[in-house]
Amino acid sequence: MSAQGTSRDGRPDGDRPTGVDELLERVRAGYTRVEPREAYEAARAGEALLVDIRYEALRERDGLIPGALVVERNELEWRLDPQGSHRLPEATSHEVRAIVICNEGYASSLAAASLHQLGLHRSTDLVGGFQAWKAAGLPVTP
């Protein structure tokens, strides 16, 4: 950074590109992520909505979490926005606690952050994703 407030590449301070690792760190600092057992218990108690955003090929290969909503990542915001015209019936209010699940817990963090921007401030994601759920011995159907 120079004395004039620019970085070495000539961009003004604050305009430097953010790498994905830094972005993940930032968004994850904005909410508390959940472990598989906690997600399972919250869903069983009716306190959370599990939302599986994995690609179809991964769901076919590894199975499904019983009771989880399947919403592919590119449709997530439209399906969970309680004000949206394409929302799912489960998207009843901004108070819904959605636990987003991807394959390993990376894309789900960015997805949860996007839901926060829509006002779904209770949204979070599953640490380790579906693979952690499966490794914890929690229910999976073929």
pLDDT tens-digit map of 2-52: 445 555 556 565 678 889 999 999 999 999 999 999 999 999 999 999 999
pLDDT tens-digit map of 68-120: 999 999 999 999 999 999 999 999 999 999 999 999 999 999 999 999 999 99
β-bridge mates for residue 26, sequence order: none
The structural domains of the chain, ordered by start, are 41-135 (3.40.250.10)
Q: How far is CA 15 from its chain centroid?
A: 26
What is the chain written as a DSSP string?
--TTSB-TTSPBTT-SPPPHHHHHHHHHTTS--B-HHHHHHHHHTTS-EEEE---HHHHHHH-B-TT-EE--GGGHHHHH-TTSTT--TT---TT--EEEE-SSSSHHHHHHHHHHHTT-TT-EEBTTHHHHHHHTT---B-
Selection from 75, 122, 77, 127 nearest residue 101 by Cα = 127
